[in-house]
Structure formats: structure tokens, C-alpha cells
Amino acid sequence: MAFFRTMLRAITGGGGGKRAGRHAAAAQEGRRKAADLWAEARKALHEGREAEAVGLARQAAGIEGRGEQPDSPFGFSASSSATELAALAKVPIADTLPGFDAEQEHLLRVALAFGSMRGDGLDVEARHVEAVLLGAAYDWPDFDRWYREFSQAGRFPAMWKDLEKGPDAAAASELLGTIGRLSFEARMVVTENAVLERRVARSLAEIRERSFLTEEEFARAVPELREACLLKHPTDAADRLLLLDTAALRSALAARDLKRSGRKEELAERLAKSMSEQEIAGLTPAPPNDLALVGQEPQGATREALAYERSKLWLLTHTLSFMGYSERDFEGLRGAGYKIRIRILEADDECPVCRKWAGRSFDPRRVNRSDLPPYHPGCRCDTVADLEDWLAFCGLTDYFGTGAGGRASIMIDHVQGLDAKSSL
């Protein structure tokens, strides 16, 4: 039997454990290659090499198993990416955020373009936008104006969730000031690792992969983050406890009759005080040689004020992205060779501002851009192409039936949820 087991291990490559180890190593290498390609794609966008950026993004998406899948929101399409980049270039950022200098506007366009090219939704785009604007001084007059109007109306649209009540503006001023003084690359580390409201233990290699920075950019960012107390490396034994999940920490505290409530970082600190370094080493998994702590864990009013500012930037991301999508589709319909009208469909949250536009129709060859959504920050109004005249000309009206108001309509795209891309 021992002989047959030996032969089986030789045939299968040394057993399941070794195979699993090889698969894990291959997956890790794939993630590293994809991260490097995304970093180069972002850098190419920043330097104006858009065609090269699209090519690099195609390679990265292929490694991640999200290659050319035009029908999937998580796929990658070189043609649609190029179209969306061109549309975003026409978004009037200077009108939306007056007072921006040229470098800030360029960084913001790159952030939106890179997030759109990755195709992972608004949350990803918002993290890129945070890397540009979080802690920076900027004016958004439309936000202030609409905030007053919605407050007076006593009703905020769905996309303004968590923005109805402003926090103590001074509460997060110190933390936001610290972040605002960082370089763009250092802020990318903080925002892309999702550690603005928590502190985590990760290897430096993984931190860089999540940051979409080249090795040179990351090397410049690390000293800044250390000085700002947003990154700690090397770590001590107690820091390794953050590698455990919350349930494991509470279990270890219960075994020592210690208090089990509180934030994860508090649990780790409490447990570290009751254990020797040898005990910690026995409880925690073997850490990578480059283990580091990244982020902070603000509390109370500081946490609320930070969350408010991030929600505001999420709303800004949605607004600018929606403007890009609308510009892309609007230009496409203006070139239509047949007569077509655009009909406005109001979102299902019954926004008091958008209600007056619902059901109206426009000829895209004559309509003004201001007549089409978005009508305010966070607008979710949708549009459909109204093909009544075209269908009548082709004799297809009876086949397709009639839509609302006696018009034959074909739905091109309809907003589904908060993170949908609206299309004409």
C-alpha cells in the first residue's frame, strides 16, 4: 500500500496539499500581474496615452477572468471603454466644481476614467474620486443650492441618503487635513485599501496591489503614510492579532474571562495586554515578512463627519459619471438617421424636482442638453427612445403595440437600483 501511495503522489504531483499550494501561488502571481497592469493603465491615462491604457486594461481584465464580455457589467470591452473615455472628457467639471486648478481637474478626470474602465461600479469610482478630493478644498455650488431646496421641500431624493443632516463640520477637520496634505499616491493607498474607517493588517505587497500604484509610486508613498501615522511597518507581536477575525478575538477573550465588546482594534489591544509574545505567536497565523498596519479607526463625531464627506463625494461621483453616460448616449442618438423622440421616465422615488419632466418628449436633433437628465445631483431619471413615427413608417406599430400615451416605445435601458448606468 505504501508503494501505491507513493506512486499516486508521484502521478498527481505530490498530493492535494501541494496542488492547492501551487494553485494559491499561481492565483497570487496572477493577482500581482493584474495589479501591475492596472497600475500601468492608470499611469497611461494620467499621461494621456488612452489607447495604451485600454490595451493594458484588456490584459488585466483577461488575467482576472473578466475579459471581453460586452453583455456583462463585470466584463471589459475595449470599444465601450474608448467611447466612455471620450464622453467623460466632455463632462463640464469646471462648471460643476468652479475654482479647480488644471491639475486637480486632470486627476479627477483620470479617476473617473480609470474607475469606468475597470467596470466595477460606482463604489470603485468613488474611491478613486476620494483619492483626489478627500481632504482637499473644493466648492460644489450645485450641492449647496440643491441641499437648501430639498431641505425647504422637506424631501430628499433617494441618492441623498445620509446627507439630509449635516454633521459637525469641525469634527473631522484634523483627520481630513492630514489626508489632504498627502500626495495623490499616498491617498490612493488609503482610499483603495478601504481603511478610512478601520485599521487592518496586510502585507506591504498586498497593500500596493490594492492601491493600483507602480512600485516607484508606492515607495514614495510609504514614508508619507508612516509620518502621518496611517501606516505602521515593521509591526510588533500585538499587531498580529489584527490578522484574526472578530469572532476569534472574542473567543480568545472569553477564554480569559475578559470583556468581549468593542471595536476589533480594541479587542486586539485588550487581548494583547493579557498575552505574552509567545502566546500571540501560537494564536495567530504566520504573518508575511512585510506585515504592516494601514489606516485609522476614527470614532464618534469624527467618524460621522468623515462618513458624511465620503457620502458627498459618492454623490459627486454618481453625478459626474451620469453626465458622462448621458453625453455618450446623447451624441449617439443625435446621429440617428431616422426620426426618433426621447421620452423622460421619472425614477420611482417621486423626486419633487424631476416630476415636472416625466413624460415629456424631445427630438434629439434639436433638444438642448439641459433638457435631459441629470436635472440635479443624484438625479436618477431615465430615458427611452420613442419610435412611434419610425415604427409607423415601417408598418410595425401593430406588431409592437402601443406604450403609454398611445405611443409605441422600446425601452433602451432602465435604471435598476442605485448603481445603474442610465442610457438613452
- Mean pLDDT over each residue of the chain, to the nearest integer: 80
The reported pTM is 0.80
DSSP code for 215: H
Structure confidence at residue 147 (pLDDT): 93
Q: Contacts from 247-252 at CB under 8 Å and sequence distance 24+?
A: 252/283
Is pLDDT above 90 for 24? no
Residue 72 — very low, low, confident or very high, per pLDDT cuts 50/70/90?
A: low
Structure confidence at residue 343 (pLDDT): 61
Is pLDDT above 60 for 220? yes
Q: Which residues fall within 8 angstroms of residue 198, CB to CB, at 6 or more apart?
A: 264, 265, 295, 297
Structure confidence at residue 209 (pLDDT): 93
Is pLDDT above 90 for 128? yes
Dist. CA 153–CA 353, nearest whole Å: 10
Structure confidence at residue 415 (pLDDT): 31
User: Which segments of 154-214 does DSSP mark as H helices, in order?
Assistant: 173-180, 184-192, 204-211
Q: What is the DSSP track for 28-70?
A: HHHHHHHHHHHHHHHHHHHTT-HHHHHHHHHHHHHHTT--S-T
**For the residues 52-74, what does the mean pLDDT come to?**
80
Dist. CA 114–CA 112, nearest whole Å: 6
Is pLDDT above 70 for 146? yes
Share of the chain above pLDDT 70, in %: 78
For residue 3, how far is the Cα from the chain centroid?
55
Structure confidence at residue 250 (pLDDT): 92
Share of the chain above pLDDT 90, in %: 33
**For the residues 73-86, what does the mean pLDDT come to?**
73
Is pLDDT above 70 for 388? no
Read off the amino acid at residue 176: L
Tens digit of each residue's pLDDT (9 = 90 or more) over 266-325? 888 898 888 888 888 888 888 888 999 999 888 888 999 999 999 999 999 999 988 887
Tens digit of each residue's pLDDT (9 = 90 or more) over 131-140? 999 999 899 9
Query: Quick one: 334 exposed, middle or buried, by C-beta within 10 A (0-12, 13-18, 19+)?
Result: middle
Residue 197 — very low, low, confident or very high, per pLDDT cuts 50/70/90?
A: confident
Structure confidence at residue 229 (pLDDT): 93
Structure confidence at residue 328 (pLDDT): 74
Structure confidence at residue 402 (pLDDT): 45
Greater pLDDT, 175 or 366: 175
Least confident window among 177-186, 207-216, 228-237, 331-340: 331-340
Structure confidence at residue 4 (pLDDT): 46
Helix and strand counts by DSSP (H, E) for the chain = 18, 7
